[in-house]
Structure 1
Amino acid sequence: MKKYYSTVVQELGVQVHAFKEARMLILFNENAPKELREYCVLHCGNKLEDTVRAGDVFCLGKEEYRIVFVGSEVQKNLRDLGHITLRFNGNEEGESLEGSLYLESKGVADVKVGDEIAIYRP
């Protein structure tokens, strides 16, 4: 597999785990606006070298998820801001929120500081 995106978790906002019940996480680079920080998984080293596509593999720590749908603004937002919403619902309802990356429907990993976030092309 070819890794084309990599970053490292630096901080977890105090409200991050509240979103796990809704099967979603919000990523933002370390420059996230103050009013959003408490809701985000904050990361640094945001390096994107290819286009995110359905069928690729998203890794959160040791957990892997197949990407099932890529919102139209994911590429730009991830590259420029490190900011996307991860939805762990398999896109079962056919949503297409622009800034969301839809992952296969399985449990949300327990993310922690120091974890790598990566995207691979199989």
Structure 2
Amino acid sequence: MQKKYKTQINEIGPSVEAFLGEKMLILFGENAPAELAEYCLLIDVTNVEDDIVPGDTLQVGDKEYKVTAVGDAVKKNLSSLGHITLKFDGSQTPELPGTLYLEDNEITEVKSGDLIQIITK
């Protein structure tokens, strides 16, 4: 198992649930603009160790989701700003550069203090 990325959820914006119906979670580092922060999971900005590829696993707390597609800017944005969108719709083709696409699955409740990791099994 290779760990490519690890961070922690520090704060959950009060409007995060607004995007759950669209099967989305938005990650942003501690420098998130206030008007965006309320829709985001605020995380520590940490470096992505290796390229994220389809077939990798995203772990949020103890729940795992398979990566199905990776936008071109995911690695750069995650490493520099901590800012990407997680889209749980099973897309095989990345439509947006800053989006990580994951298997179409129910998004479990996230909590402050949960770890977010991307691993290759």
Shorter chain as normaliser: what TM range?
Answer: over 0.9
**Structure 1 ranges of 4+ moved more than 6 A:** none
CA distance in 1, matches of 2:68, 2:62: 19
Show CA shifts across 1:86-110 (max 9, x none): 0000017x45111100000100121
Q: Does 1:114 align with 2:113?
A: yes
% same residue:
47
Q: Is the aligned partner of 1:5 residue 2:5? A: yes
Q: Which amino acid aligns with 1:27?
A: L
| Distance 1:100-1:45 versus aligned 2 partners, 3 A rule | closer
Write the distance in 2 (CA, Å) between the matches of 1:118 and 1:47.
Answer: 12
Gaps of 5+ in 1: none
Q: Residue in 2 aligned with 1:32? A: 32
* 8 Å CA contact 2:45, 2:80 repeated in 1: no
- Is 2:84 aligned against 1:84? yes
Kindly state the Cα deviation for residue 4 of structure 1 after the two structures are TM-superposed: 1.5
What CA RMSD, in Å, does the superposition of the two structures yield over aligned residues? 1.2
Change (3 A) 1:3 1:95: closer
Q: Give the Å deviation of 1:47.
A: 3.2
Question: What 5-or-longer segments of structure 2 have no aligned partner?
Answer: none
Give SS of 1:3's match.
Answer: strand
2:45–2:79 CA contact under 8 A, matched in 1: no
- Return the structure number with greater strand share: 1
- Which whole-Å deviations, capped at 9, do the CAs of 1:43-102 have from their partners, x for residues lacking one? 11523211111110000111100100001111110111110000000017x451111000
Query: CA separation in 1, counterparts of 2:23 and 2:112?
Result: 19
Count, aligned residues? 121
